[in-house]
Structure 1
Amino acid sequence: MASWPEVTTAKSENRHEIKLSGAAISKRISEDGLDKSLFQLTNINLLNISDTCLTIIPDDIKHLVNLQSLLLFGNKISEFNEHITSLPKLKVLDLSRNQLTRIPESLNKMKELTNINLSSNQIAEMPKIGDMLNLITLDLSNNKLTSFPDMEEANFPHLTDIKIKCNLIETLPGYVAKSLQSLKNFDIGDNQLKTVPGELASMAKLKELNLKGNKLSDKRLMKLVDQCRTKQVIDYIREHCPKSDSAPPTGKSKGKKGKKQEEQVPDDNISELCHSLKILHVEDDTIKVKIEENEVWNIRPFILCCVISNLKFDEVKFKKFIQMQTKLHDTVCDKRNIATIATHDMAKIPPGDIVYTAKPPKHLKLIPLSRAKAFTGEQLFQQLQAEAESLRKEKKRNVYSGIHKYLYLLEGKPKYPCLQDSQGRVISFPPITNSDDTKMSHESKTMLVEVTSHSSLGSCKTVMDKLLHECLLLGVADEEEGPYHTLTVQQVKVVDMEGNLKSVYPSRTDCVFEGAPVKVYRLPKK
């Protein structure tokens, strides 16, 4: 059988991504099965076989040792092939909308995973889940789970999003609060819960809690849940829901008093012996980001911004700042697979709102960082590809370095994401580069920070929180050296093209630095 044209093209052009989707692919699979030469493409980072009649994942999947993203959603797969768990670099695993009934314990071998999506299957039980130090999102929605996955005593330092709605779960164990301390979004709606453990109220970073559609026996709690008031729900749980390992709370007034004392004691002890983060409320004249959702929704839909003012760089401190940004791209951003950071000198951005959109490669034009002339997106991609190949041959290595290693994130995309200033000038081209026109320097006084992601808004928040914390520790806004520093951050709104609010950062639930000597001051609107 002749190789499929998509496989032949990927091989001849040394592509890092391959997508096989839809009715035409489904027909080929039903007639002859998958093209076996697909599994000879050992350099690919992303494999997408979706919305087809595929029923079996071939054992040859084990040969794709450089895979970072495996997207097999919308097929008819009934068995989880354990050879998947031997893929050493896999970060994103999407087997949603299939017919899986069980997940093997060997899932725990996959320590590099950042995103797991097993939603809309027939899974009745999950294996015990051990430490997953890189996991950010877990989606088990629309399955047949009768109990919450056993995650007790495991470590999930970056797990911010769990979706487990539309199952048959009857009990939520109290240990989830201890095991999932980084959780920000918890969706356990449409299950069979009758009670909620009081431990949930100790999850300090929890921003969104969905308990709708359960069979809660506490009618007042049910009413709060139906009104979608997350803060009130958590407050009520704190005061009225017993912890799974203790007696019920003794009363509302005492609970409030206890809470107040608990909040005040650390403040009195810390006094001024801590870092200070001042968050300014968004003002009417604050720059806004307008997002063209219909353009970016399937390319890179998530963005957050904020403004850091009163910067006091010198050349040494600025070099450390750039090194810190590079380190974050390699760590919390997972080499830009999860999110990308861009920083701009506000003095070089004209007044007016910024637009986040996407353009065909030929129509996107900017002067990339450290380049002397303007390129279209298409020209820059080709230029970087040529440079990468030249460097690879020169160094006789089969890997790319520097900015070139991120090219596969855009390969084959019909449009590229970008930010435009009020004059229509492109100032950012994530995840590759931003414009030399708004380049930061040691003389910059005010900085626009932008974080974009294709995975989730929670990922943007995690990265932005980490960036602000590192800027604070570095003392980018302090002239004098000392043990404690101050940083002033202005909120920025992201709105749709009609002006409807999509997000604001930092919100009241952001910048919670547990265990760190940081005092956050949220200053009211003038």
Structure 2
Amino acid sequence: MRNLKIIIIILIPTLGFSQKNKTYNTWAEAKQTPELVYKLNLSNDSSINEIPREINILHNLEKLAVEKKGITSIPSTIGECLRLKELYLMENRISTLPKTIGNLKSLETLHLRSNNLSSLPNSIGNLSNLRGLYLSENQLTYLPEEIGNLRFLEGIRLDENQLTTIPVQIGELKNMHTFVALKNNLVSLPESFYRLSELKYLDLSDNELANIDGIQQLIKLDILNLDNNKITTLPNGIFNLVRLEKLNLSNNDLSSVKLEFTNWVKLEELHLENNNIQTIPESIGHLLELSRLYLQGNPIEQLPDTLTNLKKLNWLNLSDTQVNQFDIDKLKSQLPGLGVTTRGK
């Protein structure tokens, strides 16, 4: 009898764990035992074309996915799912969010990629536990100031919207390590942006940025992408971003820029293509971890001798430059593992 009691004690938590990991895939099944539903995926439920208003009967719901269903709205009753931690609504036609979304204080992940959102409710700032916010491929023209209340936010994706500015309150997001806003219409960044001291991944490519003064303050950056902007000068301090592993400055208007590569000792990939750079400095020889270098589309006539120091360099693009074949062959003889492309010359 004593052994039987031990078995019961072990089984009860095991059953509970199993139930929490079960994913319900139809609304009909979920509403039969609402108190047992922790995870619900209605993406393949052909019987519904909107999120049911009765979603609030699922008091224990922690994860909800309704993807690629063409849904146009979210019922206000979603705000009563107070235990919800993950919400996935990608690739729908949602144009507005209910104000009640701000009631989801337990929410940690909100995926709304590829919808029709043109604005966010101010209540978005009430999502006090949000870690990841994914808003790519919408029609957002601005972000509410309340975005600055999301103090635990670690990553945000805003690519392919219509943003022209970022609110100054963005500087309050001290835990942010990933910020992606490529393919917008950003012309400047607020000074407060450069207070995001934990930022490691920053992609602002395909915007209208001309001035990036302050970026040197983001000393934890590993990856920086500024491709296809209107940058003509680099702040001196950018060369003190000693953690950089990948840097993309291609398709700007860098010309008489003093390039000083001494401190980028961890850099593995460097894109400088399609600028107006005429000279590569000898200091490039300090980039001992560099494996890929893109210089195509610049009026470069000569390569520095220190390139031979880069023993890990395995790819060099010199298309549409003025570097002669003799110098290229000489470099390849000294770096046997190097692949060079001169297509377009």
Give the C-alpha shift of residue 16 in structure 1.
Answer: 0.9
For 1:213, the equivalent position in structure 2 comes to 228
For 1:309, the equivalent position in structure 2 comes to none
Structure 2 residue 38 is matched with structure 1 residue 21 = no
Structure 2 residue 116 is matched with structure 1 residue 96 = no
How far, CA to CA, are the matches of 1:99 and 1:72 in structure 2? 12
Give the C-alpha shift of residue 5 in structure 1.
Answer: 7.4
Whether the aligned pair in 1 keeps the contact of 2:216 and 2:235 (CA below 8 Å) is: no
Distance 1:7 1:232, change over 3 A: closer
Of 7, 27, 32, which aligns to 1:7? Answer: 27
Rg larger for: 2
Percent sequence identity over matched residues? 25
Give the C-alpha shift of residue 58 in structure 1.
Answer: 0.7
Q: Look up the equivalent residue of 1:130 and give its one-letter code.
A: G
For 1:476, the equivalent position in structure 2 comes to none
Give the C-alpha shift of residue 141 in structure 1.
Answer: 0.9
For 1:415, the equivalent position in structure 2 comes to none
How far, CA to CA, are the matches of 1:21 and 1:212 in structure 2? 36
TM-score normalized by structure 2? 0.58
Give the C-alpha shift of residue 167 in structure 1.
Answer: 0.4
For 1:200, the equivalent position in structure 2 comes to 215
Give the C-alpha shift of residue 151 in structure 1.
Answer: 2.6
Gaps of 5+ in 2: 1-23, 250-255, 264-345
Structure 2 residue 148 is matched with structure 1 residue 130 = yes
Structure 2 residue 60 is matched with structure 1 residue 43 = yes
Distance 1:220 1:112, change over 3 A: closer
Give the C-alpha shift of residue 72 in structure 1.
Answer: 1.0
Whether the aligned pair in 1 keeps the contact of 2:40 and 2:65 (CA below 8 Å) is: yes
Distance 1:5 1:193, change over 3 A: closer
Give the C-alpha shift of residue 219 in structure 1.
Answer: 9.6
Whether the aligned pair in 2 keeps the contact of 1:98 and 1:121 (CA below 8 Å) is: yes
Whether the aligned pair in 1 keeps the contact of 2:126 and 2:149 (CA below 8 Å) is: no
Structure 2 residue 160 is matched with structure 1 residue 142 = yes
In the TM superposition, what whole-angstrom CA distance separates every residue of 1:491-520 from its partner, at most 9, and x where no partner exists?
Answer: xxxxxxxxxxxxxxxxxxxxxxxxxxxxxx
Give the C-alpha shift of residue 231 in structure 1.
Answer: 5.9
Q: Look up the equivalent residue of 2:108 and give its one-letter code.
A: K
SS across alignment from 2:169: coil
More strand, by proportion = 1
How far, CA to CA, are the matches of 2:41 and 2:61 in structure 1? 11
Whether the aligned pair in 2 keeps the contact of 1:54 and 1:75 (CA below 8 Å) is: yes
Structure 2 residue 75 is matched with structure 1 residue 58 = yes
How far, CA to CA, are the matches of 2:151 and 2:68 in structure 1? 31
CA-atom RMSD in angstroms = 3.3
For 1:74, the equivalent position in structure 2 comes to 91
How far, CA to CA, are the matches of 2:182 and 2:192 in structure 1? 19
Which aligned pairs between 1:274-353 and structure 2 lie closer than 5 A?
none
How far, CA to CA, are the matches of 1:231 and 1:165 in structure 2? 15
Give the C-alpha shift of residue 133 in structure 1.
Answer: 2.6
How far, CA to CA, are the matches of 1:174 and 1:214 in structure 2? 18
Of 162, 176, 180, which aligns to 2:179? Answer: 162
Whether the aligned pair in 2 keeps the contact of 1:100 and 1:123 (CA below 8 Å) is: yes
SS across alignment from 1:138: strand
For 1:191, the equivalent position in structure 2 comes to 207
How far, CA to CA, are the matches of 1:157 and 1:219 in structure 2? 25
Whether the aligned pair in 2 keeps the contact of 1:146 and 1:169 (CA below 8 Å) is: yes
How many pairs are equivalent?
226
For 2:342, the equivalent position in structure 1 comes to none
Distance 1:99 1:60, change over 3 A: same
Whether the aligned pair in 2 keeps the contact of 1:170 and 1:191 (CA below 8 Å) is: yes
Distance 1:15 1:46, change over 3 A: same
SS across alignment from 2:168: coil
Distance 1:232 1:102, change over 3 A: closer
How far, CA to CA, are the matches of 2:36 and 2:232 in structure 1? 59
SS across alignment from 1:98: coil
In the TM superposition, what whole-angstrom CA distance separates every residue of 1:120-145 from its partner, at most 9, and x where no partner exists?
Answer: 10000111132433111111111000
SS across alignment from 2:65: strand
Distance 1:88 1:174, change over 3 A: closer
How far, CA to CA, are the matches of 1:218 and 1:117 in structure 2? 31
Give the C-alpha shift of residue 185 in structure 1.
Answer: 0.2
For 2:328, the equivalent position in structure 1 comes to none
In the TM superposition, what whole-angstrom CA distance separates every residue of 1:409-461 from its partner, at most 9, and x where no partner exists?
Answer: xxxxxxxxxxxxxxxxxxxxxxxxxxxxxxxxxxxxxxxxxxxxxxxxxxxxx
SS across alignment from 1:130: helix
Whether the aligned pair in 2 keeps the contact of 1:7 and 1:38 (CA below 8 Å) is: no
Distance 1:76 1:152, change over 3 A: closer
Distance 1:16 1:89, change over 3 A: same
Whether the aligned pair in 2 keeps the contact of 1:174 and 1:200 (CA below 8 Å) is: no
Whether the aligned pair in 1 keeps the contact of 2:154 and 2:178 (CA below 8 Å) is: yes
For 2:282, the equivalent position in structure 1 comes to none
Give the C-alpha shift of residue 9 in structure 1.
Answer: 2.9
